[in-house]
């Protein structure tokens, strides 16, 4: 190979390396956000919110849904506006979404439907999120992905332990949960800038009391704007569930848009839960699950 060809090949390889540089990627993202913030006045608010729950498949659903030709999601999955960043203002929130002009282009020129949205699983639990969302996007469609609360709690615990956040055993952690969370919800209600690490990190059993939190959302939104999905059913038949979501969002379900492979995001293996602990939690959650089944009109079979 001539020397000039070798030099050109080397130059191309160096360009590729620099394009993959974390510093360059970070700089590009920062520049994009500056542009988005400057043009926030002409940006949309979400048509849908995936409100939870944590460790139930919200990342997978959001990622699969983004493949639909009429779904144009926020620039980041978890915007966390209605929980942790509400004080930053609507201008900050709009900067995360596509522009009004892009929607016009898609709808009028491309002749396609257009929806945008985000997924912040802490919204379900946060005591102010529902009220804030209703005041900001009252017509938004709400999607809640819910998993067997026992499995969800254990997955949540394993995630925190893997990150070095949780030093206790699972049994010790759920025993101490009331103590860790005591007064945190009240502090959030009293100070809209208060971010409770304990409430977000250690609410292993609390999140699984799904009807407590859905009832709070239903105080501010009509039931017809809520779609509740069973996480187990979602992973068993993702194509069918995605079609349900698309129909709920008022979109067409054209052939060929579904992902060819359904990877599970943030999926890890870990030791099984102790049998006596699972039995105790099954008894604890049984009445709460029954309330949920009656609300959605479907038995998810979590007791079997």
- Look at residue 8 and tell me if it is in a domain: no
Q: Please state the domain count of the chain.
A: 1
C-beta neighbour count of 264 within 10 angstroms: 11
Q: What are the pLDDT digits (tens) for 239-274? A: 999 999 999 999 999 988 988 777 776 677 899 999
- Look at residue 162 and tell me if it is in a domain: yes
Q: What is the mean pLDDT of residues 90-101?
A: 97
Answer positive or negative: Cα dihedral of 43, 48, 52, 57: negative
Identify the CATH number of the domain in which residue 87 sits: 3.40.50.300
Range with the lowest mean pLDDT among 121-135, 197-211, 253-267? 253-267
In three-state secondary structure terms, 143 is strand
The whole-number pLDDT of residue 91 equals: 97
- Look at residue 37 and tell me if it is in a domain: no
The whole-number pLDDT of residue 9 equals: 52
The whole-number pLDDT of residue 71 equals: 97
- Look at residue 4 and tell me if it is in a domain: no
- Look at residue 23 and tell me if it is in a domain: no
Q: List 117's β-bridge partners, or say none.
A: 48
Q: What are the pLDDT digits (tens) for 12-56? A: 555 455 556 777 778 877 888 899 999 999 999 999 999 999 999
Give backbone dihedrals phi and psi of 141, rounded to 5 degrees, phi first. Answer: -85, 135
- Look at residue 122 and tell me if it is in a domain: yes
Domain range spanning residue 175?
42-296
Is residue 194's pLDDT more than 80?
yes
- Look at residue 109 and tell me if it is in a domain: yes
Which pairs from 250-259 meet CB under 8 Å and 24+ separation? 250/113, 250/115, 251/68, 251/70, 251/71, 251/113, 251/115, 252/70, 252/113, 254/69, 257/67, 257/68, 257/69, 258/64, 258/67, 259/64, 259/67
- Look at residue 221 and tell me if it is in a domain: yes
Could you give the CA distance from residue 158 to residue 167 in angstroms, rounded to a whole number?
Answer: 11
Is residue 96's pLDDT more than 80?
yes
Runs of H (alpha helix) within 20-148: 22-38, 58-65, 90-94, 100-104, 129-136
Q: Are 199 and 84 in contact (CB under 8 A)?
A: no
Q: What are the pLDDT digits (tens) for 159-186? A: 999 999 999 999 999 999 999 999 999 9
Q: What are the pLDDT digits (tens) for 216-232? A: 999 999 999 999 999 99
């Amino acid at each position: 190979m001539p020397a000039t060809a070798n030099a050109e090949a080397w130059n191309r390889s160096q360009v590729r390396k620099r394009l993959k540089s974390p510093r360059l990627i970070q700089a590009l993202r920062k520049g994009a956000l500056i542009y988005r913030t400057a043009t926030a006045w002409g940006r949309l608010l979400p048509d849908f919110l995936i409100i939870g729950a944590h460790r139930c498949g919200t990342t997978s659903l959001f990622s699969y849904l983004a493949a639909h030709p009429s779904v144009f999601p926020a620039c980041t999955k978890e915007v966390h506006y209605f929980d942790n960043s509400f004080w930053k203002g609507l201008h900050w929130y709009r900067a995360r979404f596509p522009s009004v002009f892009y929607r016009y282009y898609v709808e009028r020129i491309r002749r396609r439907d257009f929806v945008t949205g985000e997924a912040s699983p802490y919204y379900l639990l946060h005591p102010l999120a529902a009220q804030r969302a209703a005041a900001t996007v009252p017509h938004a469609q709400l999607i809640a992905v819910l998993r067997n609360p026992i499995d969800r709690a254990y997955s949540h615990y394993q995630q925190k332990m893997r990150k070095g956040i949780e030093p206790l055993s699972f049994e010790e952690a759920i025993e101490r949960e009331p103590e860790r969370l005591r007064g945190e919800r009240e502090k959030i209600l009293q100070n809209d800038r208060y971010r409770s690490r304990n409430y977000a990190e250690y609410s292993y059993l609390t999140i699984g009391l799904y009807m407590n939190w859905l009832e709070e959302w239903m105080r501010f939104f009509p039931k017809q704007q809520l779609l509740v999905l069973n996480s187990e059913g979602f992973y068993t038949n993702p194509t069918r569930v995605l079609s349900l979501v698309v129909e709920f969002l008022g979109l067409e379900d054209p052939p060929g848009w579904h992902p060819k492979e359904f990877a599970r995001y943030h999926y890890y293996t870990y030791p099984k839960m102790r049998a006596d602990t699972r039995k105790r939690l099954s008894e604890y959650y049984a009445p709460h699950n029954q309330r949920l089944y009656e609300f959605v009109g479907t038995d998810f079979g979590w007791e079997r």
